[in-house]
Amino acid sequence: MSAALALPRGRRLPRGLILGGFAIAVIVVLAVAGPWITPYDPDAFAIRERLQAPSLAHWFGTDDFGRDVFSRVLAGAHYSLLMGFGATAISLAIGVPLGMLAAFHRGWVDEAVMRGVDLMISIPPVLLGLLILATTQPSVAKTVISVGIVYVPIMTRLSRAVALGLLAEDFVDAARARGDGAVRILWREILPNAWPPIIVETSLRITFAILLGSALSFLGLGPQPPASEWGLMIAESRPFIEQAPWIALAPGICLCLLLVLINVVGEGLRDLLDPRMQGRGHG
């Protein structure tokens, strides 16, 4: 069994991975501390200050209820992170074992799993999320679970493809010759060597999960008012988009920035872990 996650010899951490990782770490700290460091109460109404443009007093302006937009963006950052990382963790926890079991056992097990995966992938993600959430009362937890379920088929297909390639390796034959069972082979031999492509794909899934979670919130199927989730803030700003565009621009720009940073980290992970990139000059 090889240490697949070890840093390859002669390889430096890509600059984008370092800078992007640091920026995301700062965002995570701000998101966790957000409810305690906001300059104003994010849910407090101040009707006399409604629809004020950005200023030194209100960096991102105020909304139609006079609430400080900067405070609401800061307090709501944890929703997007929860959507992305929480939903992706669910898709990993279900999809990776399912895909590896399908690859190992093949036959009717593989056929049943992959036909179910094909059925779920044929449904657009937003529609599948709507189908899952339409019959229940909207909440943050249900949205995270629904987004996670939406991306289970993709993680299942990826882990199956990776496992199929690894099952043909000599170290797996050696494990079988020792009499190791299916669980031990998958846990000790396949999984450690399958992580590099799974990690790269995971970084991409986080961005899609954040986008899907925000889209569902925009449609009213995520956190409910007065929550300061970014997708919900954009939805609530629609009647004032011409009069006070900063209400939508602030959460929209923050959402785009977060997605770009996660993609930068994903590119850095790909450069670091993908063997095909190891001969190229990335910094």
Top pLDDT among 234 and 139 is at 234
Task: Enumerate the domain spans of the chain.
Answer: 77-165+192-277
Backbone angles phi, psi at 262, to 5 degrees: -65, -40
pTM of the model: 0.83
Distance from C-alpha of 79 to C-alpha of 223, rounded to nearest angstrom: 8
pLDDT band for position 11 (cuts 50, 70, 90): low
Q: Taking all residues of the chain, what is their mean pLDDT, rounded to a whole number? A: 84
DSSP assignment of 262-279: HHHHHHHHHHHH-GGGTT
Q: Report the amino acid identity of residue 29.
A: V
Distance from C-alpha of 221 to C-alpha of 111, rounded to nearest angstrom: 34
Class of residue 169 by CB neighbours under 10 A (exposed 0-12, middle 13-18, buried 19+): middle
pLDDT band for position 249 (cuts 50, 70, 90): very high
Of 97-106, 160-169, 189-198, 271-280, the range with the lowest mean pLDDT is 271-280
Q: Which residues pair with 68 in a beta bridge?
A: 62
Nearest-CA neighbor of 49 among 61, 33, 34? 61
- pLDDT one-digit tens code per residue, 68-90: 999 999 998 989 899 899 999 99
Note every long-range contact of 230-233, with CB atoms under 8 Å and residues 24 or more positions apart, other chains counting.
230/73, 230/76, 230/77, 230/79, 230/80, 230/254, 230/255, 231/255, 233/63, 233/69, 233/72, 233/73, 233/76
Q: Does residue 10 register a pLDDT over 80?
A: no
pLDDT band for position 274 (cuts 50, 70, 90): low
Are 206 and 148 within 8 A, CB to CB? no
Q: Which fold has domain 77-165+192-277?
A: MetI-like fold (1.10.3720)
Distance from C-alpha of 140 to C-alpha of 129, rounded to nearest angstrom: 13
